[in-house]
Structure 1
């Protein structure tokens, strides 16, 4: 005999609007504790919820919230991510400047991006939302939502912050990294990563965390390092890249506070990192700091990379971060970066600064990322 909850699930496809709203509103509370309820009858409730995304705004919000919470299940996730009709529905709604549930859609897209099948969004063309974008590419449109929609500038109901998690998850895949680091001819050769890297110091913690993760995942693409490191050449006799992302200021600024640097340390630093305000604050979330340090480690993979980082005086910045952040994980990450960028190159004498004087207490072992090693955020977004 069906339980009361199972009877309630049947009302998800009821013809009466009020009954559907009561049913979805009640089931939101069970979406984190009773996953089996939504997987009965070969995921029939999930199929109903996907249709309810197009219902009246309050019902759609409840449906989206439930789908966000139950998408932690692999079977449910695949059911969502592989559904082309659902994907188009979400894209058409999130790009609508009047969509009341745009933030919930961004959360759901971020979770769906954890399934490999959603890589197809990188090659998806669709109608142009003229108020938002000039591009027919779905990824460009989502990028425009994220950039133009910050703090409700495009849609008063949304800030699109969770799209940063969506970009971070797509950047786990080679195709996603290629998109984010390749100049787009249809967009005046703009490199997509440059559109989101500017948010590493944004007021929104969600944006800062998601963007930091996206940048780190992109840094796994070693052939793109010359582009990411912009027009900085370790050899002044060599011409700089014609197009660059100028990424370093955006991952170094969050590591910096208001401390002063000696002349020998400041000489050669990037212009954006000099003459900072006396009340400049370092990023407060140690996880974001560690993410930026891990990005620096990835950007020191080749001798050419390390030469650039030494040239722009990354070591003093990491040293001060090590001294001022009282977190063992951050200090270990600082030590790893210093061990790599200050290591001896072939034919040179090793001269690695002693971080123990700054309170590191480390054993001095050189640590490197193994080939293919990744530590990417796999967290599913849950909301109540």
Structure 2
């Protein structure tokens, strides 16, 4: 005999809308923690029901079903049942890029939570069947390009009055953990001739949006695991990634004049009220990006020429945080150490891709 909760789950596919509404309303609170397993009843039939309900026109049913699905992503089996349904994944992406969709933000959270699974890479191959209005907004029919446009053009609800698309930054961070995703972010796109990562750089100092800064910082870091792209990302003036990593960790402290004028131009003569990122966790991500840039000798030498050490030294003195201090120490060791003679093999320091923050499921309360 099913328990009372299990019976409630079976009501999700009732032919009576009122019964479905009551079931959904009561089940949202059971989509987190140990209670999640009630949705596994009857061979996970509830997942099919929830996906179907999330495609209805009724606002309440869509919000509640997407909320439950997003929370259930904490369970690997249930997450797989959602993300490996290619038709549903296509539907989800198409609805996020629908600029009239009132539920775009909560769908961004679901997409982000699904990105813990390798199957999310399918999004990189999706194309959007654009309406005439969408063609005016999105110049490419590739789903990733459309999602990028939503994030960049839609900040502060300027594209969709119901959505700010902030959570797409976490989606970008997650998909950039995979080699195919990294390749997208560091490759110039045919439709606009721009490297996608450059579109995100401006948000590293958006101090009114923790989510955007956090997701963008992680996307930058993950993209830097592609060491072959370091030279281009740093030296190409159309990308120029280094200042966007350094500015969030720079404060108002005075730096020796010689060092200051060796810094990238964007960091010279900063105002006395310059603020560094208020979150030490985000500062740590930027420091990890600098460590990744230290992987090869040419980039270490470039960072020395740009007086990055002087900036790190001031950061170390100004911020009392164990994580920041540890990463500063590691950077100092990399930048101040003696290099092996030219032509001699060297054991470059590698960093493991520890994405504990990226692996978090966003729970909707």
TM-score, normalised relative to structure 2: 0.93
1-side partners of 2:315 and 2:46: how far apart? Answer: 50
Aligned to 1:182, which of 164, 183, 187?
187
Structure 1 residues 22 and 230: CA distance shift in structure 2, 3 A: farther
Aligned to 2:201, which of 193, 197, 202?
197
2-side partners of 1:370 and 1:259: how far apart? Answer: 31
Runs of 4+ aligned structure 1 residues displaced above 6 Å come to none
2-side partners of 1:163 and 1:94: how far apart? Answer: 10
2-side partners of 1:378 and 1:369: how far apart? Answer: 24
Determine if contact 1:222/1:301 at 8 Å carries over to the other structure: yes
* Structure 2 residue 319 is the aligned partner of structure 1 residue 322: no
Shift of 1:374: 1.2
Structure 1 residues 369 and 60: CA distance shift in structure 2, 3 A: farther
2-side partners of 1:293 and 1:167: how far apart? Answer: 19
Match of 2:21 in 1: 21
Match of 2:30 in 1: 30
Determine if contact 1:226/1:244 at 8 Å carries over to the other structure: no
Aligned to 1:68, which of 67, 70, 75?
70
Shift of 1:331: 0.6
Aligned to 1:264, which of 258, 261, 268?
258
Match of 2:276 in 1: 282
Shift of 1:180: 0.3
Match of 1:340 in 2: 334
1:107-127 Cα distance to aligned partner (Å, 9 max, x none): 111111110011111122221
Shift of 1:4: 2.3
2-side partners of 1:137 and 1:91: how far apart? Answer: 11
Match of 2:11 in 1: 11
1-side partners of 2:317 and 2:164: how far apart? Answer: 35
Shift of 1:369: 4.3
1:238-294 Cα distance to aligned partner (Å, 9 max, x none): xxxxx6421111110110111121211102111111222221111111111111000
Match of 1:375 in 2: 354
Match of 2:325 in 1: 331
For residues 63-102 of structure 1, the aligned pairs below 5 Å read 63-102=65-104
Match of 1:162 in 2: 167
2-side partners of 1:368 and 1:289: how far apart? Answer: 23
1-side partners of 2:62 and 2:305: how far apart? Answer: 53
Determine if contact 1:150/1:161 at 8 Å carries over to the other structure: yes
Shift of 1:339: 0.8
Gaps of 5+ in 2: none
Gaps of 5+ in 1: 232-242, 349-366
2-side partners of 1:193 and 1:268: how far apart? Answer: 25
Match of 2:220 in 1: 215
Local SS of the residue matching 1:87: helix
Shift of 1:222: 0.3
More helix as a share of residues:
2
* Structure 2 residue 115 is the aligned partner of structure 1 residue 106: no
TM-score, normalised relative to structure 1: 0.88
2-side partners of 1:276 and 1:19: how far apart? Answer: 62
Local SS of the residue matching 1:130: helix
Determine if contact 1:132/1:145 at 8 Å carries over to the other structure: no
1-side partners of 2:162 and 2:188: how far apart? Answer: 31
Shift of 1:131: 4.6
* Structure 2 residue 41 is the aligned partner of structure 1 residue 40: yes
Alignment: residue pair count = 353
2-side partners of 1:137 and 1:110: how far apart? Answer: 18
